[in-house]
Amino acid sequence: MTDIVATAFFSVTSLIWWSPILAVIFFPFYIWKKMKRKLAKTVVMLEDFSEFKLDQLRKFKRKFWKMDVLQSKALTHYNKISDSVYQKMVWYSRFEIIKAVPRGARVLDVGCGNGYLAKLLKDTKGAEVTCLDVMDYNKSGFETVLYDGETIPFGDKSFDIVLLSYVLHHSHVPQRLLSEAARVCRGKVLIYEDLAPIGKKVLARLHKEAYNYIYSIDSPVNYRSQSEWKEIFDNSGLKVVSNNIRWGVGSVMMPLKSAFFALENKN
């Protein structure tokens, strides 16, 4: 009996003694195991979430690719329409342009675009044409000199004729650009521009939104009246020697008038 009591007492004493020690030893393992289970659950959740996100990303990329294809197609069609309209503008204005440019003249085509005007002047007047633009859209075999849209990279009085065809309403600094045109010109500065008799702000906004979306650029569009343009010409050191105003090619769709100005340096 005494042995049983002694054994029980020793066991209880040992348990009391060893319990804190065992707790200290095994508690970290218990916590680690519990954290590992939680971590495993979290990883599974993250994997599921990541897979969901990846699936969403794949869907978005597919949609974006389709949008990119659609935009590319829209740009192609827009360029075809733009080229067609611009060719018509050149065709309707050809006699005016040809008459204003002397044979064999040295011409600077600022904002040359697809180069149709340059080709017309070379073919009909034997003009030596230099094409200048902020980007190379030329389709007529001419080399395009690139510039920043403000400073014309040529010396004073380098050209007999400087031509700006439907360029100024897209310029951030039309007066600065015209001053540069006046500087490099020893003859006439020829300008084609759109005049909006009514609703010019609305038309400009519509034009700007369509143009900038399709070409993914930030280009201004500012329609001005005849008197506003003449004020800008005057402030640029230029005077109007002749002008012609008529309803433009696009007047069926938008109430725009097409204006042709021939300018000379005041000095």
How does pLDDT run across 115-147, given as a tens digit for each residue?
888 988 999 999 999 999 988 877 788 899 999
Q: Is residue 56 part of a domain?
A: no
The CATH number of the domain holding residue 183 is 3.40.50.150
Q: Is residue 9 part of a domain?
A: no
Q: Which domain holds residue 199?
A: 86-265
For residue 192, pLDDT beyond 80: yes
Instruction: Give me the long-range contacts of 178-182 (CB less than 8 A, separation at least 24).
Output: 178/232, 178/233, 178/236, 178/238, 179/236, 179/237, 180/150, 180/151, 180/152, 181/108, 181/110, 181/152, 181/236, 181/238, 182/236, 182/237, 182/238, 182/263, 182/265
More confident residue, 115 or 235: 235
With vertex at residue 64, the alpha carbon angle to CA 58 and CA 70, rounded to the nearest 5 degrees, is 140
Name the pTM for this structure. Answer: 0.64
For residue 198, pLDDT beyond 80: no
Q: Is residue 30 part of a domain?
A: no
Task: Count how many domains the chain has.
Answer: 1
Asked if residue 101 lies in contact with residue 123, where contact means CB atoms within 8 angstroms, the answer is: no
Q: Is residue 59 part of a domain?
A: no
Q: Is residue 171 part of a domain?
A: yes
For residue 23, pLDDT beyond 50: yes
pLDDT digits (tens, 9 = 90+) for 147-163: 999 999 999 999 999 99
Q: Is residue 191 part of a domain?
A: yes
Q: Is residue 77 part of a domain?
A: no
Q: Is residue 31 part of a domain?
A: no
